[in-house]
């Protein structure tokens, strides 16, 4: 009897909702307010999610003027929160701008008879790699803009992130956050209700990653209830939302929340939705600004002002290198600098693989290593396999990656392959005191650390640095790496530049404005240059200078064992 009573009590608790929300007239139809138009459409031409089909709805407010772009509200799982009625009322009263709503269902794959072969909702919504944002930006929203209203007005949507909001509940809640997190250049306003920041597809990592990442210009409203546990296998929904809010506050975000006593439902979100919209759109069109994080690593390396700026006209085919006081790279059969000067014409099959204070290093189809000074080529060695990257110290002790192995090439031309059973990738970095050599381990989140012994020989290799990866794809190769003068390691990754402390832990993440994956980086003094996967080059000023392998060894202040 007692067990039955406890079971009933728990069941009732799970159904409790917050009934203290005051009635908001914006939630009901007002006969004096003109209704917007709702268009229902289907989309089944996705290349990002092949073979999926989905319904979506477009809400067009009565006040929409097709001669200028309207603000955008994207909502996951179709029309929810009674949004069209709320929008009619808030737009008419001037409490939110003229906004077109796009309400989209998750995709399904059907057979010829219409039966569902595969539900795509969790795969689309719970993933944290930004794929769904790509689907919206590259496929669905262009499709929306090909539609017209009943009276022939074309749909015209703003692409200014300050004009764009996104919302969803449960898996849709984390999807809304991920879309803005991965594309802050397109979405700046987020409503996440009963969001699944739990261990479904990596959402549980957000509370850590938010704390480490340079703040983005986002405004976020979170809602959840004390009894929200849809499935305890994955974690506690309410607790996870609390942790995300704590991380956002730590990182300086403009964040608001409403915590109720409800379970995993939209009841509470529906009631507060008008106030959520008033808060998300407050002050519009003033742009949302990024906050200031309490992260001490970010504070130590980033100036109060400034961010990434594009190096116009520069495009890199492979890697960035620092030769003396300038950034150089190969593109279009020649080696250039970021000022657009051509430094060297490459011969057929030659690749730029490294640098020192006065020279460039090339390799060719014969795996020859060639040092170039003032245009004069000198062959210094021949490797057994393709050479990936080479670094040189101030006394011309050199290291390079070849055939999955780390190779030492001393100043006398002697090559020594490090045969320790570890697999090395294509990226190298040398600690400022020249006593530690770092390389990446392919297809993992690990970087290997070697002690540089007598005669410059690498030894005692072990997994040491561990990186974050919200894409879930460990096959993505780590890009270039370099140290700053304080012994912190900067690593080019799909998430941005990950900055590790001396003990191998990521303490800061610097993404590009559109969160494009970064594949290459290099320092010139206090300027950090990066190249993204499209070959575009960006630069920003830091508080710290880079430490080049070919500079004289220095000993950074120890950070202790942590």
What's the pLDDT tens digit per position in 202-212?
A: 999 999 999 99
pLDDT at 4: 45
Place of tokens 């900055």: 499
> pLDDT per residue over 374-407, tens digit each?
999 999 999 999 999 999 999 999 999 999 999 9
CA dist list (Å): 541 to 116, 301, 483, 523: 53, 9, 15, 10
> pLDDT per residue over 51-86, tens digit each?
999 999 999 999 999 999 999 999 999 999 999 999
Helices (H), 314-399: none
- CB-based contact 327:355 (threshold 8 Å): no
- CB-based contact 57:41 (threshold 8 Å): yes
User: What average pLDDT is seen over the chain?
Assistant: 94
Dist CA 519 CA 404 (whole Å) = 19
Dist CA 162 CA 491 (whole Å) = 30
Backbone angles phi, psi at 539, to 5 degrees: -140, 150
Q: What is the mean pLDDT of residues 332-340?
A: 93
DSSP of 410-457: -TTS-EEEE-SS----S-EEE-TTSSEEEEEPTTSSEEEEEEE-GGG-
Say if residue 13's pLDDT is above 80. no
Q: What is the mean pLDDT of residues 123-144?
A: 97
pLDDT band at 1 (very low <50, low <70, confident <90, very high): very low
Q: How far apart are the first and last CA of the chain?
A: 53
pLDDT at 21: 85
SS (H, E, C) 139-177: HHHHHHCCCECCCCCECCECCCHHHEEEEEECHHHHHHH
pLDDT at 15: 46
pLDDT at 562: 82
Q: What is the mean pLDDT of residues 178-184?
A: 98
Close Cβ partners of 242 (under 8 Å, ≥ 6 residues apart): 224, 259
Q: What is the mean pLDDT of residues 157-166?
A: 98
Burial of 406 (0-12, 13-18, 19+ CB in 10 A): buried
pLDDT at 229: 83
pLDDT at 210: 98
The Cα angle at residue 87 between residues 184 and 82, in degrees rounded to 5: 100
> pLDDT per residue over 419-472, tens digit each?
888 999 999 999 999 999 999 999 999 999 999 999 999 999 999 999 999 988
* Structure-block tokens of residue 465: 């640095």
Picking from 385, 382, 389, the residue whose alpha carbon sits closest to that of residue 425 is 389
Q: What is the mean pLDDT of residues 507-534?
A: 97
**Considering the chain, what percentage of its residues have pLDDT values greater than 90?**
91
Show the domains of the chain with their CATH numbers: 35-294 (3.40.50.1820), 297-547 (2.120.10.30)
Q: Would you give the DSSP letter of residue 357?
A: S
Whether the model pTM is above 0.85? yes
pLDDT at 16: 52
> pLDDT per residue over 208-252, tens digit each?
999 999 999 999 999 999 999 878 899 999 999 999 999 999 999
Picking from 533, 520, 546, the residue whose alpha carbon sits closest to that of residue 353 is 520
Say if residue 17's pLDDT is above 70. no
Picking from 524, 556, 557, 522, the residue whose alpha carbon sits closest to that of residue 432 is 556
Dist CA 217 CA 161 (whole Å) = 9
Q: Percent helix, strand, coil in the chain (nearest 5)?
A: 20, 35, 45
- CB-based contact 438:429 (threshold 8 Å): yes
> pLDDT per residue over 473-488, tens digit each?
877 778 999 999 999 9
SS (H, E, C) 275-329: HHHHHHCCCCCCCCCCCCCCCHHHHHHCCCCCCCEEEEEEECCCCEEEECCEEEE
Q: Would you give the DSSP letter of residue 513?
A: T
* Structure-block tokens of residue 40: 């229902």
- CB-based contact 104:53 (threshold 8 Å): no
């Amino acid at each position: 009897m007692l067990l039955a009573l406890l079971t009933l009590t728990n069941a009732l608790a799970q159904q409790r909702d917050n009934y203290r929300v005051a009635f908001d007239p914006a939630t009901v139809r007002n006969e004096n307010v003109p209704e917007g138009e709702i268009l229902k459409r289907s989309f089944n031409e996705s290349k990002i999610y092949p073979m999926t089909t989905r319904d979506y709805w477009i809400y067009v407010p009565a006040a929409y003027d097709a001669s200028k772009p309207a603000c955008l509200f994207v909502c996951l799982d179709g029309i929810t929160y009674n949004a069209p009625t709320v929008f009619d009322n808030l737009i008419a009263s001037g409490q939110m701008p003229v906004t077109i709503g796009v309400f989209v269902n998750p995709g399904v794959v059907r057979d010829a008879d219409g039966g569902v072969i595969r539900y795509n909702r969790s795969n689309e919504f719970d993933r944290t790699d930004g794929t769904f944002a790509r689907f919206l930006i590259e496929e669905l929203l262009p499709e929306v803009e090909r539609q017209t209203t009943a009276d022939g007005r074309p749909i015209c949507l703003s692409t200014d992130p300050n004009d764009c909001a996104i919302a969803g509940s449960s898996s849709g809640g984390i999807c809304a956050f991920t879309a803005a997190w991965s594309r802050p250049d397109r979405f700046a306003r987020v409503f996440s209700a009963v969001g699944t920041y739990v261990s479904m597809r990596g959402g549980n990592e957000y509370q850590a990653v938010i704390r480490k990442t340079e703040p983005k210009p986002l405004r976020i409203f979170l809602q959840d209830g004390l009894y929200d546990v849809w499935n305890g296998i994955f974690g506690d929904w309410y607790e996870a939302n609390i942790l995300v809010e704590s991380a956002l506050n730590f990182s300086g975000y403009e964040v608001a929340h409403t915590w109720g006593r409800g379970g995993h439902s939209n009841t509470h979100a529906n009631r507060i939705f008008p106030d959520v919209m008033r808060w998300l759109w407050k002050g519009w069109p003033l742009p949302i600004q990024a906050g200031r994080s309490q992260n001490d690593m970010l504070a130590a390396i980033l100036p109060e002002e400034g961010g990434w700026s594009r190096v116009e006209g520069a495009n890199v085919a492979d890697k960035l290198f620092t030769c003396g006081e300038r950034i150089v790279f190969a593109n279009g059969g020649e080696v250039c600098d970021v000022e657009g000067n051509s430094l060297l014409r490459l011969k057929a099959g030659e690749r730029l693989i490294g640098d020192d204070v006065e020279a460039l290093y090339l390799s060719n189809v014969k795996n020859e290593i060639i040092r170039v000074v003032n245009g004069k080529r000198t062959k210094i060695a021949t490797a057994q396999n393709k050479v990936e990257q080479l670094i040189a110290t101030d006394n011309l002790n050199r290291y390079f990656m070849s055939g999955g192995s780390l190779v030492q090439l001393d100043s006398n031309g002697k090559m020594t392959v490090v045969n320790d059973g570890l697999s090395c990738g294509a990226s190298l970095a040398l600690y400022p005191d020249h006593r530690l050599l770092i390389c990446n381990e392919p297809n993992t989140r690990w970087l290997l650390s070697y002690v540089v012994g007598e005669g410059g020989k690498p030894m005692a290799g072990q997994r040491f640095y561990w990186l974050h990866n919200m894409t879930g794809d460990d096959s993505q190769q780590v890009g270039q790496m370099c140290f700053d003068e304080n012994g912190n390691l900067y690593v080019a990754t799909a998430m941005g530049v990950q900055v590790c402390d001396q003990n191998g832990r990521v303490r800061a993440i610097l993404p590009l404005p559109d969160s494009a994956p970064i594949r290459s980086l290099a320092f010139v003094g206090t300027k950090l240059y990066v190249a993204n996967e499209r070959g575009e080059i960006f630069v920003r000023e830091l508080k710290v200078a880079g430490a080049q392998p070919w500079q004289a060894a220095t000993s950074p202040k120890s950070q202790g064992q942590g």
